[in-house]
Amino acid sequence: MLISDLRKEFYDVILHKHVLLMVAFDVDALCACKILISLFQCDSVHYTLVPVSGQQDLERAFLEHSEQIKHVVLINCGANINLLDVLQPEDDVTFFVCDSHRPIDLVNVYNDTQVKLLLDSTEQLTIPSYEDIFNDEESDSDDSGNESESSQPDKRRRLDEESIVRKLEKKRARRLWEESRQKIIFQYEEFSFYSTSAAYVIYQLAWKLSKDSNDLLWWSIIGLTDQLLSKKIDREKYFLDASELNRHVSRHNRLGQEEDATQQSVNAMKITFNPELQLALYRHWSLFDSICHSSYTACNLRLWTARGFKKLHEFLADMGMPLTQCKQKFTAMDIAYRETFCDSLQNSGKKYGLDQITVPSFYAQFGYKNKFCAFDAVHAASALLESIEKDKVGDANFLEALDALSRVHLDKLECGLEISKRQHKAIVSQIRTLLDMNHVVSAGPFLYAYIQEGTLDVKFFSKANCLALLARFTLEAFVKMSKSKKVKNLPLVMVAPLNFEQGTSLVVGVPPLMELENSPRSLFGRAFEQTAEKTGSRVLHDSFDPSIFALKTEDRSKFFDALVSLLS
């Protein structure tokens, strides 16, 4: 059941209940969780928080808590699976689902009692009609009257011919309806994509409850920014939602204009909306390293070639930036260069094909020293979620990332920034290897890349989000390096070792570069499922994103041969 009045149909219902809160492992879900927990604390709502990395975690967590809890909130998980079929809940259990994954499972859409889908009021869904998907008519009982017919064999021989014709017509109509139903469902579920950020939706609830603040607004901004950096939404969708959030920024940050600024606390948060450079972590890194490890600059300048590297030095010279300044930490640069480099970068960027080097974004500042861009916060939180440190498990990483979003745990945010730098270095190093060794190949209907076992920093790519980031970066780099125009319209499938002892690999599919920039929609979810069924490959579709799954390494060859045949 679709819900648009979040206050009346969701929050008022759970206000005095014990709630099981299950949250997926992504930054948008983290932010939505932070906002919702803040609301729960305001109203003394009892809750149990459980991070879930996939469907198996979801089933396990629900089974452990199902006897005590009758109200379950799912954030960025559950919308695109049949919850009643997967979890087998009792009739008095209600699920409230705030999930940006699309398409939504049709059983969830049309269940009016146990599944409540929390949506942005402006979202427009294309849902098949109930009559086209579900048939409530009771099947004819062919056994009725058997006793009387068996006692009168003569009547059975004289069955009415019209009755036989009616039954045949009914069977034919049923078969045609089934064929039409399968076609409609296939068209509805053919592509997977993302909708409005979960953090944005929950923030709308906080606003309607008159309990929003700058902190909640900041978390909503980070959730939206995560969708942009992960290529889950296009720029147009980002600009629309960012414009709405900017209205709240103006509303919450007018105090300094209306009153004496000295009345504000030194540590009060202030959010601003300004253009941001598409350079990863440059405020916490050197300018040179940031340019080399950012997808936009690295791909457009083709920094994997000697010619591209020479072009980078020419670019910096054109900016008037000495190499010694660029290679030291940004905060250690001479103030004259630090204050003018942004304008210089934009002016010189137009000559070098970097005309879209800036994107509107948000900044949060508290105190005199602490100023963070939403881009940096996303990189840090994402890196903490997928930290590969030996002494940490999934739940510990989740809680670490959750804490890093709070102002009181800046040390954890700084730790996340350092991990993110290592991730970016590993990604760029891997892309250089893939391009130099010609390991990105065309399989016909898609591009294919495989990361060998034993590769340096391969552990980073056993994590779904990091592998997806590598895949998108690799696709953009390959398209820029390739002379063929056809590759712009080809998606990429990337495979990386997942568990060497178990002999499994992690597979991720990303849409073509043209679609990533305009309308990110992936066909790999259904294609992967059909291929696995056809070949009998041993796969595990555990991720909430259908375009990410685990595969037995032994089955890789036959699986991809069949995938090529399916998509050709």
DSSP letters for 191-257: -BEE-S-HHHHHHHHHHHTT---HHHHHHHHHHHHHHHHTTSS-HHHHHHHHHHHHHHHHHHT-HHH
Q: Are 252 and 214 in contact (CB under 8 A)?
A: yes
Sole residue written with tokens 């060497």:
500
**The predicted structure's pLDDT at residue 453:** 85
What's the pLDDT score for residue 494? 96
- Cα–Cα distance list, 248 to 215, 264, 268 (Å): 12, 19, 16
First to last CA, the chain: 38
Fold for 437-567, please state it: Diaminopimelate Epimerase; Chain A, domain 1 (3.10.310)
Written as tens digits, the pLDDT of the chain (568 aa) is 898 889 999 999 999 899 999 999 999 999 999 999 999 999 999 999 999 999 999 999 999 998 889 999 999 999 999 999 999 999 999 999 999 999 999 999 999 999 999 998 888 888 999 888 887 664 444 444 444 444 455 555 555 677 777 788 888 888 888 899 999 999 999 999 999 999 999 999 999 999 999 999 999 999 999 999 999 999 999 999 999 999 999 998 875 444 444 445 556 789 999 999 999 999 999 999 999 999 999 999 999 889 999 999 999 999 999 999 999 999 899 998 888 888 899 889 888 889 889 999 999 988 767 788 999 999 999 999 998 876 667 789 999 999 999 988 889 999 999 999 999 999 999 999 999 999 999 988 999 999 988 888 889 999 999 999 999 999 999 999 888 888 889 999 999 999 888 999 999 999 998 887 777 889 999 999 999 999 999 999 999 999 999 999 999 999 999 999 999 8
Residue-range domain boundaries for the chain: 229-258+265-425, 437-567
Please, are residues 21 and 47 in contact by the beta-carbon 8 Å criterion?
Answer: yes
Do residues 401 and 381 lie in contact, with contact meaning Cβ atoms separated by under 8 Å?
Answer: yes
pTM: 0.91
**Cα separation, 386 vs 380, whole angstroms:** 10
Cβ(555)–Cβ(538) below 8 Å: yes
Provide long-range contacts, Cβ within 8 A and 24+ apart, for 168-176: 170/140
Cis preceding-peptide flag for 103 (omega within 30 of 0): yes
pLDDT at 139: 45
At 155, the amino acid letter reads K
* Residue 257: predicted pLDDT: 45
User: Which residues are registered as beta bridge partners of 116?
Assistant: 96
Which of left, alpha, beta for 302 (phi over 0: left; psi -120 to 50: alpha)?
left
Q: Which two tokens stand for residue 370?
A: 């602490």
Residue whose structure tokens are 């102002």: 407
Q: β-strands 358-366, 370-373: how paired?
A: antiparallel
| Coil vs helix vs strand at 337 | helix
- Residue 231 backbone phi and psi in degrees, to 5: 60, 30
